[in-house]
């Protein structure tokens, strides 16, 4: 399943933000195993770097770059061009960044956008899930259960 992951999910993972870290981790681990095709926009990569390396809880820039390199091993990056930027600018969405996320999802033909800010995507023609809802949907609709196995 091809999904576009919103910036907040990536920050949850890299910053270990509870209570969201575990489900974000599960999503990225499953992408590494080939269960999901994860996409993000190029501007999200710079946004994630900036957010993680600034502010009171900032992370080391070199360690953050290394983390983003590992992310790139499992996540595809979509560049928005003039057409997508113009569509986002022409949209009625109040949040330009969210409008760009939608355009990236449309460009990559993603089946869903994974975000914790679902209300910001209420006009989206693409399904919107948070990580937990995605896993619940896959279990109820597809019979796929992604629980950890104790050894």
pLDDT digits (tens, 9 = 90+) for 62-98: 999 999 999 999 999 999 999 999 999 999 999 999 9
Burial of 148 (C-beta count, 10 Å sphere; 0-12/13-18/19+): exposed
**Which two structure tokens, joined as six digits, stand for 150?**
């104790």
> What pTM does this model have?
0.92
Q: Span 137-149, mean pLDDT?
A: 81
pLDDT digits (tens, 9 = 90+) for 6-55: 999 999 999 999 999 999 999 999 999 999 999 999 999 999 999 999 97
Interatomic CA distance for residues 25 and 90, integer angstroms: 35
Domain boundaries, the chain: 2-142
What architecture is domain 2-142? 3-Layer(aba) Sandwich (3.40)
% pLDDT > 90, the chain: 88
């Amino acid at each position: 399943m091809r999904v576009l992951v919103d910036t907040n999910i990536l920050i949850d993972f890299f910053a270990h933000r509870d209570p969201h870290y575990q489900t974000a981790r599960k999503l990225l681990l499953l992408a590494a195993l080939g269960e999901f095709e994860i996409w993000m926009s190029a501007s999200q990569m710079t946004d994630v770097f900036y957010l993680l390396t600034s502010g009171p809880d900032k992370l080391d820039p070199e360690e953050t770059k290394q983390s983003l390199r590992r992310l790139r091993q499992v996540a595809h990056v979509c560049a928005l061009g003039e057409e997508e930027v113009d569509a986002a600018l022409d949209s009625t969405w109040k949040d330009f960044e969210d409008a760009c996320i939608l355009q990236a999802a449309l460009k990559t033909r993603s089946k869903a956008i994974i975000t914790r800010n679902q209300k910001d995507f209420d006009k989206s023609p693409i399904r919107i899930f948070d990580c937990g809802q995605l896993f619940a949907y896959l279990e109820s609709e597809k019979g796929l259960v992604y629980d950890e196995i104790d050894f």
